[in-house]
Amino acid sequence: MRGLIIGRYQPFHKGHLEVIKCILKEVDELIIGVGSAQISHTLENPFTAGERITMIFESLKEEGLENKCHYIIPIPDIWNNSLWVRHVIALTPKFNIVYTGNPLSRRLFMEEGFEVRIPPLFDRLKYSGTEIRKRMIKGENWEELVPFAVVRIIKEIKGVERLRDISKSDKITYLKSGDTSP
């Protein structure tokens, strides 16, 4: 049996890793779809698809699981929810079962006749991309929420500096420069 889990992984965190470990007990092969693959360098989606794929692969390697997740596939968004599942099918090997906690993804796969399982949540308030990105911007401890491999990769690509840069407002920089003209 081949399963699919799809997420944005901005960034890949310990909650994602735990959920993948649980799913691997139920399926023979797992496809990890990296959603919103075309988006990067924004506050909600700071990391590129390539960076996210590396984070996932290296985290799985750290756990000795890299051979069990057979595919990590980037999946760009499309502007048509009713066609999205067809789009995912076109980009991935055949799968029988979908794992997602995202209500929209769940609904779309169910409407196309897929069995959808909701994976258990691991401390969702703490292990969430939103919380991690917030801590990165505020200079708080984000490292404890992600696998070691992800800490290493984010440091290598200067990911925190990128996020802080894109979180700056033009307006504030401009006013701070002392120029008050519009």
Least distance from ligand NAD to the Cβ atom of residue 150, Å: 13
Helix (H, G, I), strand (E, B) or coil at 30: strand
What pairs with residue 6 in β-bridges?
Answer: 33
- Asked if 143 and 137 count as a contact pair (C-beta separation under 8 A), the reply is no
Least distance from ligand NAD to the Cβ atom of residue 165, Å: 22
Q: Report if residue 77 touches ligand NAD, rule: CB under 6 A.
A: yes
Question: In the complex with ligand NAD, which residue's Cβ is closer, 81 or 174?
Answer: 81
Question: In the complex with ligand NAD, which residue's Cβ is closer, 59 or 105?
Answer: 105
Q: Which of 17, 19, 23, 146 binds ligand NAD (CB under 6 A)?
A: 19
Degrees, nearest 5: CA angle 124-130-88: 85
Q: How far is CA 95 from CA 32, 61, 64, 123, 152, in A?
A: 11, 23, 23, 28, 32
What pairs with residue 4 in β-bridges?
Answer: 31, 98
Q: Which of 3, 16, 69, 150 binds ligand NAD (CB under 6 A)?
A: 16
Binding range to ligand NAD, per CB under 6 A, among 59-67, 100-108, 132-140, 163-171: 100-108
Residue type, 162: R
Q: Report if residue 78 touches ligand NAD, rule: CB under 6 A.
A: yes
Q: Report if residue 124 touches ligand NAD, rule: CB under 6 A.
A: yes
